[in-house]
Amino acid sequence: MDCKFCGTENPDSAVFCKHCGKPMNGMYVCPVCGKESPADGAFCIYCGSRLAPQSAALAEEAAIAQAAPAQTFEPQPEQTADKGKDKTSPALWQKALTYAGGACALFAALCAMIFVFCIGCAAEGSALSETFGIQGIDLYYYFGDVYRDLQDALDATFRPSDFYTATLYIQAICGTLVSAAAIITVPVLFVVTLVRYIRNLTGASEKTANSVAAVTYFIFIAFALMFLGLHAVQVTYSTDNIAGIGIDATVAVKLNSATVTGLILGGVGIGISAVCSAAVRGKDNLQSPRILQYAFSAAAVVLVLVALSLLSGAVAGFGAEESGSSPRVSFGFMQALALCGQWDFSENNSLPSRYNEECTVIIIEACIGIVALVVFAILAAMLLSTLVRGLSDGKPDKTRLVVYAALLAVFAIVITVCSALLAQGVSYLWAKAEGLAMNAISPFFTVPIIATVLSVLALAALIVYAALPAKKAPENA
């Protein structure tokens, strides 16, 4: 076998030329990154370092560096003045940060697994909540009590209308499905996270637990906000008494303190894990394209979380002007059905019996809104998990991120349309139930409009993120 550089004949088993000491395969081994580059180039095609002609000793040393780069880290030529530094220190601190980031990610997944069993809603404003029959509820309600309450309602002295019965069944089924999915999915994902962390810690696998931990935490967020979306309602009641003194009272259903605590603790763990993963790559993150990517991805995360939070609350409502009082009611899709069901006091005098067509339309609109909200929450969890995973390993799936963001914007629009129709329909029934003129009722649905705008802005941010180059090209290429 002849050397491709000097033409000297060598044995077939030779790796380096016996005359010039160069690699027999015609490739130079970069002394910095240890990878092979074509011999006809002056610079490494992977790191941009200059490729100097190599002697046999240098080629052998570079080959060893390629086989074990972490143990024989070599500085670039301009850094040779720092020979006194410990050459293994970069690998050590990178390894420490990797384990620390994995531990924080595992902590976030653990918080999600623990606090998923505490998911629930609480009613703030106890005095008014008793008046309007609004109360807090947790996911355990849907594993027994909800069906007893359903049976008690069906066994009442009057025969409920089909509309009222349908609202009870829809609430029970939706609540049970969300609760069961939450307490099954999140613990399973935590077990997967734990197994992957242990395998990475023991050296059995190079895959870290960060990505699965992010999925676990964001799925926990999705289920918590979906549960809130099934019960979100807010009532504000303003009135003037005889002395002319104004009285304002508000009751609202929000996530309980345990759920909020789990969301905060898990968010801290995921945040620290992302910072550690970014720090491992060191100087690569100081390049302007990478900094811009972090900025736009952070903006997308905030926008998606805010949009999801808004849509999981009271998305529509109406205000009424009565004699001396101004009630204002905001509700989610499920509570729109509950509000209509509250007017079903008897079969002969119920609103559904007199406005069957309007009530049927409300059921359809509410069901479409519930499905759209669930899909929106799942898409948001998938988008955020994909984004965090890409930032952690430096290999973002840009196409998938843009697709998820586009779908989020579409479903946000669907939710906005359903909210607008529900606001009109429920306000109409409220006016009929209270004997008010239609001009005294003012429906509103600004919350989903804001959430849609935020979703579109998140899509724009991710499009810019996908368009940015991952790394600046070498200037000396």
DSSP 369-403: HHHHHHHHHHHHHHHHHHHHHHHHHT---HHHHHH
The CA distance from 328 to 238, in Å, is: 8
Partners of 320 in the β-ladder: 441
CA atoms within 13 A on the CB side of 228: 28
Give the per-residue pLDDT at 237.
74
Give the per-residue pLDDT at 136.
72
The CA distance from 218 to 381, in Å, is: 5
Write the DSSP string, 401-447.
HHHHHHHHHHHHHHHHHHHHHHHHHHHHHHHHHHT--GGGEEEE-HH
Residue 259 CB burial class (10 angstroms; 0-12, 13-18, ≥19): buried
- List Cβ neighbours of 185 (8 Å cut-off, separation of 6 or more): 219, 223
Which pair of tokens denotes residue 33? 């990154």
Q: Which residue has the tokens 């086989």?
A: 67
Give the per-residue pLDDT at 93.
72
Residues in the chain predicted with pLDDT less than 50, given as ranges, are 55-57, 68-90, 242, 345-348, 472-477
The CA distance from 395 to 301, in Å, is: 17
Give the per-residue pLDDT at 69.
45
pTM for the model stands at 0.71
The CA distance from 402 to 462, in Å, is: 6
Give the per-residue pLDDT at 220.
94
Contacts of range 31-39, beta carbons closer than 8 Å, 24 or more positions apart: 31/58, 31/61, 31/62, 31/65, 31/74, 32/74, 32/75, 32/76, 33/69, 34/62, 34/65, 34/66, 34/67, 34/69, 35/66, 36/66, 39/4, 39/5
Residue 94 CB burial class (10 angstroms; 0-12, 13-18, ≥19): middle
Cα–Cα nearest to 314, from 368, 274, 373 = 373
The CA distance from 358 to 351, in Å, is: 9
